[in-house]
Amino acid sequence: MTTAPLSAVEIVPVSRPDGKVQADRDPAWWREPLQDGRIVVFRGAFEPGAMGALRRALLEWGAATPPIPPGVSASQPGLDFHRLDDGTAPTTMPHIFHQFGFADGRGLPGPLADDVRRLRHALLDWQNRLAGTDFDLEDPDFRFKAMRHPRGGGHLVPHRHPHLPQKVALFLNLSEPGRDYSSGAALFRNAAGWVDTHEDFRCGDLLAWRYDLVHGVGAVEPEAPLTWQGDDGLWIAAMERFEAHPHSKVA
């Protein structure tokens, strides 16, 4: 496939005075570029060290918590779960990743529950400001989800979601390209062609795109042996609505 030049990604520096994320422009300014299909990365939206601590806490919780079985739907309101999907179970959207989903979160250990709550609120706040939506920060239709795409071929097949009602979606990178993984990336297809974000999407960055763009995750170090040890690989966190999945399609 032909990949569009990196100029297809708009990099927006942000600061975090007193812990509150601020961009050089009000996020509402980016609504039109996003709806035109631009990929916008808010550089340094979250502290990278906190992202590393979060992924280690997720793995620790997963080691102490039984996974839901393959083939059982995770799209259940109120469900907190994890599952290691190695690509052997039938699915409508082929993938290899370890997924963690929190629709409730109140039963998590204190520090992890606090982190999930903070990120849930922060991501939905950015969602509303970027898209002009008014989703309630306690909306039970949303869940916080983190996906670890391991070295050795972790990926998610390209697919698309309906544009409405969400309009815009966000990815948060919990890992660092060049350190935690050497190849693989969130990929998007817009009017310019395929956009590879490997160089531009770093640990702590928040990436926004129009929700109905075709997107996926390119294979992470596919030449390496598949391994689930350690906490490396490409980690992406997001907020997602349960109702989007039945209407999403492989591209």
Q: What is the model's pLDDT at position 141?
A: 84
- Please check the confidence at residue 143 and state whether its pLDDT lies above 50: yes
- In this predicted structure, what is the pLDDT of residue 19? 61
pLDDT at 17: 66
pLDDT at 139: 81
Average pLDDT of the chain to the nearest whole number: 90
**Nearest to 75, CA basis, from 238, 242, 241:** 242
> pLDDT tens digit string along 185-215?
999 999 889 999 999 999 999 999 999 999 9
Q: Is 235 helix (H, G, I), strand (E, B) or coil?
A: strand
Q: What one-character DSSP code corresponds to residue 48?
A: H
| pLDDT tens-digit readout, 20-43 | 666 777 888 999 999 999 999 999
Note the pLDDT tens digit of each residue in 216-240: 999 999 999 999 999 999 999 999 9
Mean pLDDT check: name the lowest of 11-20, 83-92, 155-164: 11-20
What is the distance between the terminal CA atoms of the chain, rounded to a whole angstrom?
14
Closest by alpha carbon to 50, among 109, 114, 97? 114
Tell me the CB-side half-sphere exposure of residue 113, using CA atoms within 13 A: 7
- Asked if the model's pLDDT at residue 5 lies above 50, the reply is no
In sequence order, the 6+-apart residues with CB closer than 8 A to the CB of 211 are 161, 162, 163, 166, 167, 168, 169
Going from the N-terminus, what domains does the chain have, and what CATH number goes with each? 12-65+104-250 (2.60.120.620)
Residue 18's pLDDT band, with cuts at 50, 70 and 90, is low
Nearest one of 238, 63, 68 to 168, comparing CA atoms: 238
| Short-list 201, 54, 28, 27, CA closest to 118 | 54
| pTM, two decimal places | 0.93
pLDDT tens-digit series, residues 112-141? 999 999 999 999 999 999 999 999 877 888
Tell me: the pLDDT tens digits for 41-81?
999 999 999 999 999 999 999 999 999 988 788 878 788 99
pLDDT at 2: 45
